[in-house]
Amino acid sequence: MQTNVVSHINAVRNSGRAEEIMLVKAWRNQKGLKFPSFYLELATIEACRGRKVGHLSENFLATLAYIRDHIETATFIDPANTNNVISEELTLEEKRAVASAASVARRATNWNQIVV
Q: What is the pTM of this model?
A: 0.88
11 closest CA partner among 51, 50, 46: 46
What CATH number corresponds to the domain at position 106?
1.10.1410
Spatial contact of 71 and 99, defined as CB atoms under 8 Å apart: yes
Total domain count, the chain = 1
Query: How does pLDDT run across 69-81, given as a tens digit for each residue?
Result: 999 999 999 888 8
Supply the DSSP symbol for 88.
G
pLDDT band at residue 9 using 50, 70 and 90 as cut-offs: low
Structural domain that includes position 22: 5-114
